[in-house]
Structure 1
Amino acid sequence: MVTATDTNLLTLAQWFSPAYPVGAFAYSHGLESVIEAGELISARDLDHWARILIDHGSGRSDALFLSAAYLAGTPEDIAEIDATARAFAPSRERLMETELMGAAFCRTTAALHGVALVDLTYPVAVGRAARLCDLPQETVATWFLHAFAANLVSAAIRAVPLGQTEGQGVLASLAPLCVAVARETLNGDLDALSGTALAADIASMTHETLYSRSFRT
Structure 2
Amino acid sequence: MTTERHVLTLMQWLSPSFPVGAFAYSHGLETVISSGQITTAADLEDWLKSVLIHGTGRNDSILLRAAHAAPDGTALAEIDAIARAFAASGERLMETALQGDAFCKTVSDIWGADLQGLTYPVAIGAAAAHAGIGADLAAAIYLQAFVSNLVSAAVRAVPLGQTEGQAVLAALTPLCESTAAETATATLDDLSSTAFLSDIAAMNHETLQPRIFRT
In the superposition, the TM-score normalised over structure 1's length comes to: 0.97
Q: Distance in 1 between matches of 2:135 and 2:199?
A: 28
Tell me if structure 1 keeps the 8 A contact 2:2–2:134. Answer: no
| Equivalence map 1:153-192=2 (5 Å) | 153-192=151-190
Q: 1:5 aligns with which of 3, 7, 18?
A: 3
Q: 1:129 aligns with which of 127, 130, 147?
A: 127
1:71 aligns with 2:62: no
Q: Which residue matches 1:80?
A: 78
Tell me if structure 2 keeps the 8 A contact 1:68–1:187. Answer: no
Tell me how many residue pairs correspond in the alignment: 215
| Equivalence map 1:23-34=2 (5 Å) | 23-34=21-32
Q: Distance in 2 between matches of 1:62 and 1:192?
A: 11
Residue 113 of structure 2: SS of its match in structure 1?
A: coil
Q: CA-atom RMSD, angstroms?
A: 1.1
Q: Distance in 2 between matches of 1:4 and 1:143?
A: 13
- Give, as a single letter, the amino acid of the residue that structure 2 aligns with 1:110: S
Tell me if structure 2 keeps the 8 A contact 1:67–1:187. Answer: no
Q: Distance in 2 between matches of 1:214 and 1:187?
A: 38
Q: Which residue matches 1:205?
A: 203
Q: Which residue matches 1:53?
A: 51
Q: Distance in 2 between matches of 1:27 and 1:189?
A: 27
Q: Distance in 2 between matches of 1:187 and 1:98?
A: 23
Q: Percent identity?
A: 55
Q: Distance in 1 between matches of 2:2 and 2:75?
A: 29
Distance 1:38 1:44, change over 3 A: same
Q: Distance in 2 between matches of 1:93 and 1:9?
A: 31
Q: Distance in 1 between matches of 2:2 and 2:50?
A: 35
Q: Distance in 1 between matches of 2:20 and 2:2?
A: 25
Q: Which residue matches 2:109?
A: 111
Q: Which residue matches 1:144?
A: 142
Q: Unaligned 5+ residue runs, structure 1?
A: none
Residue 209 of structure 1: SS of its match in structure 2?
A: coil
> 1:62 deviation in Å?
0.6
1:216 aligns with 2:202: no
Q: 1:92 aligns with which of 84, 90, 98?
A: 90
Deviations 1:118-147 (A, max 9, x none): 000000000000001101210110000000
- Give, as a single letter, the amino acid of the residue that structure 1 aligns with 2:88: P
Tell me if structure 1 keeps the 8 A contact 2:140–2:177. Answer: yes
In the superposition, the TM-score normalised over structure 2's length comes to: 0.98
